[in-house]
Structure 1
Amino acid sequence: MTPQQYAPLIVILVILPLILLRNRAPRTLRPQWMWVTPAVIVPLMGLALWGTSMEPGADHTPFDAVSWMILLVGFGLGCAAGWWRGKMTTIEKHADGTLKAQASPLGIILIIGLFLGRSALRSVLEPHAAAWGLNALAIADAFLVFVVGMIVVQRIEMFIRARRVLAGGTDSHVEAAA
């Protein structure tokens, strides 16, 4: 493995314990502000997609149907993962009317698996993409649209459930687990 491949692994090993410790306790959930993260992430990812096409030496050929399909599959899988992650988050209403949310450790495992899978796929796909008739840039961009789909749909799922809990309903995730 090259040093470029070690860097993400080292970052994951350093940050993983910090994230797991931070997610042990429920955090205050403010549904009125859940739109902010997608509103920031979507334009940033759009700039990242545009920026990768402007890199010196990048393949500036327009995407063909297969490339668009790769992006669509990445977005669809991201939406499914976001729905699952949002569904795995427990939302509770406390006596003072505040909402508390606790993320499932499985969501963190999903993100780590995504990073590891991306590193593994990169080392396999980059040298062979042209031979297989795939656009390497579309494959790299599929990971970005995966993240966009995951973040947006997770926030939508949590917002819907948070509104239901605030209105006096129960968290369907908690009922299913009981």
Structure 2
Amino acid sequence: MTPAQYAPLIAILIALPIILLRNRAPRTLRPGRMWVMPALIVPLMGLALWGTSMEPGADHTPFDLVAWAMLASGLILGGAAGWWRGKMTTIERHPDGTLKAQASPLGIILIVVLLLGRGTLRAILEPHAADWHLNTLAIADAFLLFVVGMIVVQRIEMFIRARRLLSGGTDSHVEAAPVA
């Protein structure tokens, strides 16, 4: 492995304990501000997709059906991962009307597995892309679309649940406590 390949692994090893410790306590959830992250991520990822197409030496061949299928798969799989991650987040309504959210450790582990999987897939797919008639730009872009799908759908899922709780409903994925 090269130093460029070690850097993400070292960053994950440093960040993972910090993130897990930080997520031990519930944090205040503000449904009115949940649109901010997707509103920032979508244009930034759009710029990243545009930027990768402008790289010198990049594969500028037009996307074929396989490339578009990879992009769609990345977005759909990211949406599924985001939905799952949003469902795994515990949201509670407190007596003062505030919402508290606590991310599941499984959601954090999912992100780490996805980052490691991305590196592994990239290492496998990119050297063999020409042999397998795959567009390397589409492979990289599919990973970016995965992130977009995951963030947007997670926020939508959490917003729906938070709105339900604020209107007096219950969180559908949490079992109700038995009445004594």
Q: TM-score range by the shorter chain?
A: over 0.9
Deviation digits for residues 97-122 of structure 1 (CA, Å, limit 9, x no counterpart): 00000110111111101110111111
The ranges of structure 1 where at least 4 consecutive aligned residues each deviate by more than 3 angstroms after the TM superposition are: none
Unaligned runs of 5+ in 1: none
1:10 paired residue number: 10
Matched, 1:137 2:137: yes
Matched, 1:32 2:45: no
The 2-side partners of 1:177 and 1:127 are apart by 54
TM-score when scaled to structure 1?
0.97
SS in 1 for 2:11: helix
- Evaluate the alpha carbon distance shift between residue 163 and residue 50 of structure 1 in structure 2; reply closer, same or farther with a 3 A threshold: same
Corresponding letter in the other structure for 1:173: H
TM-score when scaled to structure 2?
0.96
Is the 1:90–1:173 Cα contact (8 Å) retained in structure 2? no
SS in 1 for 2:46: helix
**Following TM superposition, by how much is the alpha carbon of 1:86 offset from its aligned partner in structure 2, in angstroms?**
0.4
Corresponding letter in the other structure for 1:105: P
- Evaluate the alpha carbon distance shift between residue 176 and residue 103 of structure 1 in structure 2; reply closer, same or farther with a 3 A threshold: farther
The 2-side partners of 1:88 and 1:60 are apart by 40
1:90 paired residue number: 90
1:123 paired residue number: 123
**Following TM superposition, by how much is the alpha carbon of 1:177 offset from its aligned partner in structure 2, in angstroms?**
10
The 2-side partners of 1:82 and 1:115 are apart by 14
Percent same amino acid at aligned positions?
Answer: 81
2:147 paired residue number: 147
SS in 2 for 1:174: coil
**Following TM superposition, by how much is the alpha carbon of 1:135 offset from its aligned partner in structure 2, in angstroms?**
0.6
**Following TM superposition, by how much is the alpha carbon of 1:172 offset from its aligned partner in structure 2, in angstroms?**
1.4
The 1-side partners of 2:115 and 2:106 are apart by 14
Q: Size of the alignment, in residue pairs?
A: 178
